[in-house]
């Protein structure tokens, strides 16, 4: 385990040009903005105790997110695990005054506890795995939200590499291996992500599936 922790309290600081951070926003205003914007949008919102972050992902962000989604799906298929993917679905808890829209999220260990295609985090467990892709804006503010929601694991892509974080106590610590997929390390994820530069997506996933089968049979 690498002793690296992620902030447990977000700071209000200057945001990148494609981001906006707004203080003193009520929960009701946040909900009204979500309603006005609708679900068919590329903008992601995150809300933490009156601070609203508006993120506008760009092209490379979506490419990396798509590859990571396919990697997670390939793992569950090859390992014969259940999965329920909820993409960037809204994760809200009014009682905690937090809300976030991850780049993608998955129920794996708890997939059998989710009966439909909508979740209520006051009743249902949080997703087992959240993916955050930082191309033009940091996700560190959102880690405090995931902590309050009790999300056990985050894969964070930034600076052309991916890191795995597990929730331990009240902070996320960087770990070498995944909790959801114990055979998978950040080193392996980065190796295949680097191949995505020269390989088309299907070839990349075929090679990744071969690697999974080798681990199963070794």
Give the tens place of pLDDT for each residue, 180-196. 999 999 999 999 999 88
**How far is Cα 87 from Cα 106, in angstroms, rounded to an integer?**
7
132: in domain: yes
Q: Which domain holds residue 157?
A: 58-217
What residue ranges of the chain have pLDDT lower than 50? 1-16
40: in domain: no
pLDDT for 136? 64
pLDDT for 87? 93
**Burial class, 190, CB count within 10 angstroms (exposed 0-12 / middle 13-18 / buried 19+):** middle
Question: What would the DSSP string read from start to end of 22-80?
Answer: E-S--HHHHHHHHHHH-SS-S-EEEEETTEEEEE---HHHHHHHHHHHHHHHHHHHHTT
**How far is Cα 190 from Cα 66, in angstroms, rounded to an integer?**
15
Backbone angles phi, psi at 49, to 5 degrees: 50, 50
For 44, the 3-state DSSP assignment is strand
The three-point CA angle 90-180-58 to 5° equals 45
Q: How many distinct structural domains can be found in the chain?
A: 1
pLDDT for 115? 85
153: in domain: yes
15: in domain: no
93: in domain: yes
CB 61 within 8 A of CB 133: yes
Residue 214 neighbours by CB distance under 10 Å? 9
pLDDT for 59? 67
115: in domain: yes
**How far is Cα 20 from Cα 11, in angstroms, rounded to an integer?**
13
30: in domain: no
Q: What's 184's domain CATH number?
A: 3.90.1570
Q: Where are the beta strands (DSSP E) in 169-217?
A: 171-175
- The tens digit of pLDDT for each residue in 101-126 reads 999 999 999 999 998 888 999 999 99
80: in domain: yes
């Amino acid at each position: 385990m690498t002793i690296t922790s992620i902030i447990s309290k977000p700071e209000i600081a200057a945001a990148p040009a494609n981001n906006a951070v707004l203080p003193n926003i009520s929960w009701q205003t946040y909900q009204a903005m979500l309603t006005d914007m609708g679900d068919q949008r590329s903008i992601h919102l995150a809300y933490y105790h009156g601070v609203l972050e508006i993120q506008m992902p760009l092209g490379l962000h979506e490419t990396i997110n798509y590859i990571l989604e396919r990697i997670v799906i390939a793992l569950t298929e090859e390992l014969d695990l259940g999965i329920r993917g909820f993409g960037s679905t809204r994760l809200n808890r009014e009682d905690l005054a937090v809300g976030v829209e991850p780049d993608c999220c998955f129920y794996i260990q708890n997939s059998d506890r989710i009966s439909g295609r909508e979740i209520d985090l006051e009743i249902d467990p949080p997703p087992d795995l959240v993916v955050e892709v930082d191309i033009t804006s940091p996700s560190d503010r959102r880690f405090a939200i995931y902590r309050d929601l009790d999300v056990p694991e985050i894969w964070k892509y930034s600076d052309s590499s991916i890191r795995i974080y597990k929730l331990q106590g009240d902070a996320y610590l960087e770990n070498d291996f995944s909790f959801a997929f114990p055979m998978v390390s950040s080193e392996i994820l980065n190796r295949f992500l680097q191949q995505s530069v020269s390989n088309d997506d299907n070839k990349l996933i075929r090679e990744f599936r071969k690697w999974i089968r080798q681990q199963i049979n070794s």
